[in-house]
Chains A and B, each alone.
Chain A
Amino acid sequence: QKEVEQDPGPLSVPEGAIVSLNCTYSNSAFQYFMWYRQYSRKGPELLMYTYSSGNKEDGRFTAQVDKSSKYISLFIRDSQPSDSATYLCAMTLSSNTGKLIFGQGTTLQVKP
């Protein structure tokens, strides 16, 4: 069993839709949670960074962490064709290491 599970998709939505991306994890010791966006043949770009449970909003993006359910989500409002990319969730155990554990990534296509 992988430490972090993420549905690879692909997920196809019309422009303007609300997108929900999710990850589940098995290790309750994870404390820091991130979402990265990766365009084809590019490096991952950090979108959201949250600590412990709760919500965080940044423009059209909202990240949610539910540690009791070991479940994290990324919501994208008013999706745009430029949001078409692979979205990777990542998490890490402690404050003393930068080792990130990634999900497989979900491929999103937003159609005009």
Chain B
Amino acid sequence: DAGVTQSPTHLIKTRGQHVTLRCSPISGHKSVSWYQQVLGQGPQFIFQYYEKEERGRGNFPDRFSARQFPNYSSELNVNALLLGDSALYLCASSLVGGANTDTQYFGPGTRLTVL
């Protein structure tokens, strides 16, 4: 079975640009979460979606947005990129997103560099 897939693998953008990152969850999983991992730090929660509805949002500015599609894949959008947005963006999928029923499986991430 295919695991969580993310695209693109790497991305280089300049300040002020917009970026879209994509994630496909494990087959049968209905929940997708997004995390930002700055070099040398642990991942920080950005969003969680379940059945196309936003279930949770972390402490990130409105420049960050996401959505989930009927096939449960997801997009993370970041507008007006800043140098500080350079990070590894991780997508995690789980069956229903509840901590007591399933666990989160992470994709390989998209490495975003903002110049």
Distance A46 CA – B43 CA, assembled complex (angstroms): 14
Distance A104 CA – B39 CA, assembled complex (angstroms): 10
Distance A7 CA – B68 CA, assembled complex (angstroms): 36
Chain A contact surface mostly: loop
**Number of A residues with CB within 8 Å of any CB on chain B:** 30
Distance A98 CA – B98 CA, assembled complex (angstroms): 5
List chain A residues, Cβ under 8 A from B107: 43
Distance A105 CA – B45 CA, assembled complex (angstroms): 15
A100–B45 touching, CB < 8 Å:
yes
List chain A residues, Cβ under 8 A from B41: 104-105
A-B contact pairs, 16 of them (CB 8 A): A4-B42, A8-B40, A31-B99, A34-B103, A42-B108, A42-B109, A43-B90, A43-B106, A44-B106, A95-B100, A96-B98, A97-B99, A98-B94, A100-B33, A100-B45, A104-B41
